[in-house]
Each structure stands twice: as C-alpha cells, then as structure tokens.
Amino acid sequence: MKRIGVLTSGGDAPGMNAAIRAVVLTANAAELEVVGFEYGYNGILERQYLTLTPYHVNHLIQHGGTVLKSARCQAMFSDDGVKQVAAVLHELAIDALVLIGGDGTFRGAVQLSQHYQGALMGVPGTIDNDVDGTDFTIGFHTAVDTALDAIDKIRDTADAFERIFLVEVMGRHTGYLAVAAGIAAGAEQIICPELASELDTAKILQHIRNAQQHRGRCSYLIVLAETMYPGGAAALALELERQGVECRASVLGHIQRGGRPVGADRILATKLGAYAVEQLLQGAHLMMAGEVNAQATLYPLIKTGDKQKKVDQYLLNWQQQVAQY
C-alpha cells in the first residue's frame, strides 16, 4: 500500500478535522502518501484533491467544520456514478480510501466496494450518533454541549417568566441528541422517536398540567427531537397554544454542527483516525473503525446502519419516572 485517500462526507461534525489530522500523521509515519478529496465523494468525481502532508494538518485539531469540506453526492445513488468514482480512484492509484462520515457515507462505500479494487475504511463522524458498531460518533459530545449551552440559557429566561419552552434539537431520525441534551439539561419532558413513534399532544398537555399542579407556576422545558412533529417545534407550540397552553419554541438547528470540538471528540477522532490507517495496513477492508467500551474496534461497514444501538433506556426511564416534575 502506497497511496491512500481521505474524505469527509455528509453532515459535518466537530472533530472531523482532528480525524483528518490523525489519518495524515499516521499515514505519514508509515510512509504512505495521503490524497485529500474535497466535498466528499464529489471531490473524486470532479478530481478536486490535494496531497496532504503533516504541514497541512498542523494546529488543525481544535477547529470545527472540515478543511476537506463536505457534501452529499447525488451521483452515489446511481450505479453509473459509483462506477465513475471507482474508475477515478483506480486512475489515481488510490490503494485505500478512508471515509469520515455517517451511515449515508458508509452506504455509499458499500456500493463502491462492488466496483473498486482498493480497501475501504469508515470513521464515524456525525453529531447524530446514529451509527452501529461504536459507542459514540465523532462530533456527538460537542453537539450535546452546544445544545446544553443554549438550553441552559433558555432555562434562565424560562425561569424568569415561568414559561413553557419547546426546544428542538437535531438527530435526524434518532433521539440520541435529544435524550443526552434533555437529561443533562434537566428537561421536564423529552420527546424522541425511541419513546413513541407518534407524538400525542394530549399526553404532553397532561404532563404540563401535572407539573403545574405539583409545583405551581414554574419554567418547564420540553426537548423535542426533530422530525417528531410536522412543521417542528414552532408548529407544535402553535398547536399547544391552540389547546390552551402558552409556550415558546426554539429551534437550535445548525448551531449544533459547529464550534470547537470538545476534548472527548478530539480524543475519539485521534484514536479512530489512527486506528483506521493502522488497520488498513493490516489488510482490513470494508470495515469501520469504532470504539466500544473504550477499545478501538472494527465493525463491518455493511452493518453500521442496522439501527441496533439503543438510546440510554435507563436514564430515559429515570427521567420519565423520577425527574419529570
């Protein structure tokens, strides 16, 4: 193995730069050349790439976003597009490719393996934490802290006015972010797909009224996972108001994707980026470098999207039974 490629794809996540750095430094120590493709798979198709040396990743570990840029690539949804990507990788003599991204990126890699002769290695990077085979994905810890910073501020104003707030967090179709942020913020309610596939406004209102009976007038925070209500938190707030309970909505949105990665994400990214290259050198293929119980471990890329990983049910039960008011 002489030349490897690296790219970041899908929703960017804080710590992706730290992962790129670890890939480049580890490859350099093993005398491998590293080609960085820009804008995810698009950079392969469009031949937008640069050779990455340790110089390029100097003092990169602390920065959010991704220096390689990111994108979703339409061409990867067609067999022709995938074949073209494989052809460019062969033409550029890329012996292996490290893909930093989420389950969409990994689905693309599995398609690519049908036509590409080199090795493929995933590194899980997404704020959603919705990837099987790793306890945490790179970016999740930072996104939780970013959400918390905002939610704590909302709590201050909610307390001052004794108001009810709906705070919508990201997470795509999963509730990892909602559960973590909701627990850590001491939210009175958490609404996420793992608790109920359909949202029940009567239940929400009952919950609020119970809390008001218990505590009198008080602030009350609901952390809502995106996709739980058509039109999101703003539409749900209107609906609750229509049913007689005044509340405010706050959608945290893309702020959760940005910012300096926290220490846990930098460390995870460094470990997984390094491990990915080491395992490629050992002959691994079509695997993801993940971390389970603090141990770096390989997991088949094809299984990363199986949605076997559970949210923390223990904490969720505790929140619902003990800390709801």
Residues annotated as part of the active site: 128
Segment interacting with ligand F6P (CB under 6 A) among 77-85, 93-101, 168-176, 215-223: 168-176
Rounded-to-integer distance, Cα 54 and Cα 236, Å: 49
Q: What are phi and psi of 195, to 5 degrees?
A: -90, -40
Within 61-90, the residues that bind ligand F6P by CB under 6 A are none
From the list 22, 89, 170, 240, which residue makes contact with ligand F6P (rule: CB under 6 A)? 170
Degrees, nearest 5: CA angle 112-113-118: 105
14 near ligand F6P, rule: CB under 6 A: no
**Contact letters (x/-) for ligand F6P, 199-228, by CB under 6 A?**
---------------------------x--
Quick check: helix, strand or coil at residue 173?
Answer: coil
Is 38 or 128 the residue whose CB approaches ligand F6P more closely?
128
Our finding on whether 141 is near ligand F6P (CB under 6 A) is no
> In the range 277-306, which residues lie near ligand F6P by CB under 6 A?
none
Query: Which residue number has the CB closest to ligand F6P?
Result: 11
Task: Look up tokens 């550029």; give the residue.
Answer: 92
In angstroms, the Cα distances linking 232 to 61, 254, 257, 267, 318 are: 34, 14, 18, 34, 26
Instruction: Using alpha carbons, select from 110, 104, 148, 167 the residue that is nearest to residue 130.
Output: 104
The 250-279 site mask, x for binding ligand F6P (CB under 6 A), equals -------x----------------------
Least Å distance, CB 131 to ligand F6P, is 10
Q: How many separate helices (H) and strands (E) can be counted in the chain?
A: 10, 11
* Displacement of CA 41 from its chain's centroid (Å): 18
Q: How many CB atoms lie within 10 A of CB 69?
A: 18
Residues touching ligand F6P, count (CB under 6 A) = 10
Question: Would you count residue 171 as binding ligand F6P (CB under 6 A)?
Answer: yes
Q: List binders of ligand F6P among 115-134 (CB under 6 A).
A: 126-128
Residue ranges that bind ligand F6P, judged by CB under 6 A: 11, 102, 126-128, 170-172, 226, 257
